[in-house]
Amino acid sequence: MTKSDTPQFIAPDAYPQMLGRQESQRALKVLASQRTAELAARAMHASIAPMRAAILGYVEELEAAGTDMTGVHAKVHERVHDIRCFAETAGLVTTGRIADILCRYMDDMERVGKPVDGHIVTLHVAAIARAARAEDGDAAMGDVVAAELAALVSRRLAGR
């Protein structure tokens, strides 16, 4: 390792200030203002339709992957993770819950060194697709489906 490869540590107080005291106080007031909250709410609302469209695209990719877990495991996990992260923001709470259950299942199976069950993945993908395509679906039914899938995953992880 040469001298130029040696990392240099910079003390936190050595960084130049991005904003002075007055500018930072003004910025905090702007961020805490009702107008900023309204603009943020409008921006969030405007993002719902594009996010739903993206999630439906991810769902189509999941469905196209099928149940062959040998070559698509990473792709399925990646897409399910994306859905889990964005679904609730897009108003698809049940979709996000089911994707979260599948993500955790796949992570847990990898952690314990067992292969994922294609049937369990297929059930989750079908439930994710149905929930994502439901307009303003029955939240109670979505809760039941998510609970049953979570119970199925728990039994599988317990080895039953």
The 10s digit of each residue's pLDDT in 18-44 is: 888 899 899 999 999 999 999 999 998
Q: Which two tokens stand for residue 50?
A: 């594009």
Q: How open is the CA angle 26-30-31, to the nearest 5 degrees? A: 115
Contact call for residues 80 and 86 (beta carbons, < 8 A): no
Rg over alpha carbons for the chain, rounded to the nearest Å, is: 22
What's residue 74's pLDDT?
A: 77
Separation of alpha carbons 99 and 85, rounded Å:
9
**Tell me: the pLDDT tens digits for 47-58?**
999 999 999 999
List the domains of the chain with CATH numbers: 49-157 (1.20.120)
Separation of alpha carbons 57 and 53, rounded Å:
6
Q: How would residue 3 be classed by pLDDT, with cut points 50, 70 and 90?
A: low
Q: 């399925």: which residue's tokens?
A: 76
What's residue 53's pLDDT?
A: 93
Amino acid code (one letter) for 136: D
Task: Provide the whole-model pTM.
Answer: 0.71
